[in-house]
Amino acid sequence: MDALLDIRALSVSYRARSGAVHAVDRASFTVPAGSVVGLVGESGCGKTTLARAVMGVMPASAQVSGDALLFQGVDLLKLSPRERRRLAWTKLAFIPQTAMSALDPVYRVGAQIAEVLVERGGFSRTAARARAEELFAMVGIDRARLAEYPHQFSGGMRQRASIAIALALEPALVLADEPVTALDVIVQRQVLDVLKDLQARLGLSVVLVTHDISVVAYACDRVVVMYAGRVVESGTAEEVLERPRHPYTMGLTNAFPDLAGAAHTLVPIAGHPPALDYPPPGCRFAPRCPFAQERCRTLDPSTEDAAGHVAVCWRAEEAELLRIQAARVETWAAMG
């Protein structure tokens, strides 16, 4: 497996009044070249922070450290801020959740794309205009609309335009932060299809940050599940979603309604994630986990790798049995 991105024990902490907040704690996973990886978890799990740390766009109060952050074999953690900035947008690109934060309301959309091409890609004005038209054609927007302002675009079109901007300089990796969350379901599907299609045609890798496991199931080859700042499970989408080995992933899949399947009873996970300034010792999910044992509450769980399906859980080898138990409401209700 050829890893385009290899994240090894990456941590991000913020200084806060109460001390350090460990938003991401020793996260490790790889993004193979030409794949779509879903980075999934609930609010505050660190998924957006992790994506931003890879992109190198972090507030000054954030401290990023780790064993390595290898992109095309180069350790990004060892680069100077200047070298880092040069990589951003040319090799790595970012699609934010709301396109309005990528687009400036006072400039025409075409001018904004041209700006990226000229300033960062060294295009001439004429070449930039031609490339902007090509990019709009790629994301399925009529090139006449390059002359319009962002507010004249619908939500789906704005998100397509921010995909166009992200792809302008032919990056190898696109980090997309909840790119379809704010969109209606039909538009969401259309934008995901544009992104998937371009990813396949251009041989890109995409990290899709989302809270929605059905979006992951639809669009991703691989999945990384985060909980309370840590990666708890990773593997192919099929392995992780159909045969989860971590109780949190089991909980997430059982809590999610499935429109195409039988109307099974949803299984809630009682409690809420821990505060990241004082995380519990041992496994961070232990306080909500119906399967937690003494060692789970005291020792950091072991990383169990079964042919590339990684679960960070002391009981991962019992996963098949735990999955059956986790599907029952009573199993989790006892935790409330």
Partner 1 sequence: MSAVPLLDVTDLAKHFPAPRRLADIARGHRPTVKAVDGISFRIGPRETVGIVGESGCGKTTTGRLVLRLVPPTAGHIRFEGVDVASLRDDALKAFRRRAQLVFQNPFDALNPRLSVRDSLAEPLRNQGLPRPEWDARIALAMQRVRLPDLARYLDRFPHELSGGQLQRVVLARAIILEPHLLVADEPVSMLDVSVRAGILNLMREARDTLGLAALYISHDLALIRYVCDRTIVMYLGRIVEDGPTEEVVRNPRHPYTRALVAAVPVPRVAQSRAPLPIRGNVPDAREPPSGCRFRDRCPQAMPRCAAEDPPLRDVGNRVLAACHLL
Where on the chain is the footprint of partner 1 (CB under 8 A)? 42-43, 154-157, 184-190, 192-193, 211-218, 237-238, 241-242, 251-261, 263, 265-270, 272, 329, 336
Distance between CA atoms of residues 228 and 113, nearest Å: 37
Strands 92-95 and 173-177: parallel
Our CB check for partner 1 shows the closer of 60 and 263 to be: 263
Tell the smallest beta-carbon distance from residue 170 to partner 1 (Å): 26
Contacts of 17 (CB under 8 A, 6+ apart): none
Please state, in angstroms and rounded to a whole number, the distance separating the CA atoms of residues 288 and 74.
39
At 280, list the tokens.
Answer: 């519990």
- Return the SS3 of 324: helix
Residue 66 or 274: the one with the smaller Cβ distance to partner 1 is 274
The C-alpha R_g of the chain, in whole angstroms, comes to 21
Shortest Cβ distance from residue 169 to partner 1 (Å)? 28
Amino acid residing at 262: A
Residue identified by tokens 């902490």 is 13
168 vs 217, which CB is nearer to partner 1? 217
User: At a CB cut-off of 8 Å and minimum separation 6, what does 46 contact?
Assistant: 12, 23, 24, 25, 27, 226, 228, 229, 230
Q: How far is the CB of 147 from partner 1 (least distance, A)?
A: 17
Closest approach of Cβ 138 to partner 1, in Å?
17
Q: Which two tokens stand for residue 63?
A: 């401290």
Closest to partner 1 by CB, 71 or 285: 285
Distance in Å, CB of 158 to partner 1, minimum: 12
Nearer to partner 1 by C-beta: 196 or 297?
Answer: 196
Residue 190: CA count within 13 A, CB half-sphere: 15
Q: Are 160 and 140 in contact (CB under 8 A)?
A: yes
- Secondary structure of the chain: what % helix, strand, coil (to 5)? 40, 25, 35
Please report where in the chains the tokens 């780790």 appear, as a residue.
66
Cβ proximity to partner 1, 120 vs 243, nearer residue: 243
Report how far Cα 246 is from the mean position of its chain's Cα atoms.
19
Closer residue to partner 1 in complex, CB, 163/215: 215
Nearer to partner 1, 272 or 328 (CB): 272
Q: Output the smallest distance, CB 177 to partner 1, in A.
A: 17
As measured in angstroms, the least distance from the Cβ of 162 to partner 1 is 17
CB nearer partner 1, residue 270 or residue 324: 270
Q: Smallest distance from the beta carbon of 88 to partner 1, in angstroms?
A: 30
Question: Which residues, 6 or more positions from 50, have their beta carbon under 8 angstroms from its beta carbon?
Answer: 7, 10, 12, 24, 27, 39, 226
CB of 113 to partner 1, least distance (A): 21
| C-alpha–C-alpha distance, residues 55 and 76, integer Å | 10
Alpha carbon 129 to chain centroid, angstroms: 31
